[in-house]
Chain A
């Protein structure tokens, strides 16, 4: 139980030397895994929250980042803590189950030992257990649920809609949902959801008159206590994703409107007000300091698995801010003790969903089998074997992105390649086969076109500066919550603390400086402009993988960083 990291690694080494099958329930049990889900009930109002599952119905591997820099006021604060910095800040024992769940440390070994995480059948078991111990608990889904897998793309989100109904989701909000197009979203909300799930978003309005598109909030009674849940969709969907998918909708953060909605809900007697947010954690922290009367923000978008809430003081008191990770890896449990119309106390736990510790729920497992059956052969086709660890998360690059960049540059004869800084996408362990499904986990979007463009050096610099500002602007309201565009072929330096226009430096191709007026061939994918065409990126990557058969460990092209030494957001 009091194993430290070195002892843990010794056990792993001994176990594999002895030929023990890893992925072991015994090892999980030895780490206290058996008691992980024995969470005593507290109070009388409970909320369960998952977010950004990105349509991962089956258990997966997901490596947390080793670079998640905080800039300005965010330096050294959650969620901008990685690896050992995070362990220290939250008092997590190295080598423990939590250490594996919340950090990238010893990822491949620990993932082999503890097995996969998430999966809707395992999540369903956990939800049922918690609902049994917490009568009346609401299950909230923060969005990015209908996108991220092959089956979600092919069924236009239907597989996830039905899975969420089966799971018993009460309320959701959205972001990537909107990339299915406004009509499809409305169809689901109007045909599939009534009487089952409410879709809330106070900040989605029509572009003409500013009329609400969705209900802004709902008041539900939990054990006699009126609880308001307000929805907040990802404010910059029309900027970060194709605007043509939702041409008649406008979004934005809308603090003033949020305050009005909170006041209205309080006026109607809500004793607890919770924001179900897809703002991203930095935006949530700022919003919590400005808007009063919100007790807790259950947040997503930035995929931060944060072990404990950030407590933000504001003019009206305080607000708890949480972020519940991604890919079905975590479930938040927030308990309030409400008496006499006031919150007397609270407890919070972000539970990692270890698939080996939670038996699959039979009904959900059968449903998932049914969804996959018609596509099984295609999904499970082995395209290649990866010698190295493949992952996506990290501010500047991930080995999965490097693979996509390498495939694009080779397939298209490009000098430089760009791949978007998405934060979703599952991980592959060394020696694991890469299936078509895994490729879709990284690429399944409704605008998958790959492109080859002539770009001037000046334009390349402008694009990099623009995206970098979306990540490192000191004002969270001017960030978009994705990571830096991944760059292949070209080296550069980055000073995250500099002003926009001065962050990107020393751009070089084959050691020679990029020239502003010269033209370069640049490959990319996921264009947000309307009318773009090109071979779907999954076809480009699939062909490349079939051709390679064995993928050697990728050499990460990351910028030389300036001015971030000592930042606890980098390992």
Chain B
């Protein structure tokens, strides 16, 4: 047993002419929450599906929990839990029926399934609605049920594909607490998301964009790497200021956040505030270098090789 839960080298998947995942290398340690952050269509789901053996890679080597994928995928299935992006349990079965069904599919004994179901229903606040049909539950309840089922057979590794996309913020927070409980029990969790706040909670993070792994590391490290490149601008006519600022070639992005404009500089730029002043963006502007957020990291990572103007507009739209 190594300390690596997931190992991938040159992982690639093509659909026709489109390369959905392009030569991704991964070393995911055990006992951590590892996040995949990326916009829709960045290859998060395709990567997860390849790691579970649901999709055959076009190229590359994968080993999950020491098992070669897809070759040993059948053995692996006993040791992983998978929570799909779309709720995939049976709407017309009750909570308990769904859990008993999955327990038997995983080859658990009837007694073990019952005991485990009881424990999980209590853990996940589902005991009151054990005989409710899954189709009649709220988004948050269904998501808890899906996580309970994914952990039913006590897998070592959990794949969660955008698990909180249909859930309100409060339920999301509770959900993440559950994930840390699971890590405490020694599980490894691989979770994909497009929420910055969720990504920031992960032990480690991979930023995917257009199938390419742009950044990999601890969120704090990734943010620290941008030190000195983010400036907050306060003042009047910020839309106008933004348009002018985007004309500066060394600027990667400019996005308004309430009363301030947040600008991100390309690597290697010294004295960013001085440069902004020199560019004569407007009158009476307050400028201050500030700590980078994960969103800045995301923007910096996904802008690589792109036309800055276009990407920034998209970025500004997404954060609005």
A-B interaction: no
> What is the interface of chain B, defined by CB distance below 8 A to chain A?
none
- Report A's interface with B, CB cutoff 8 A: none
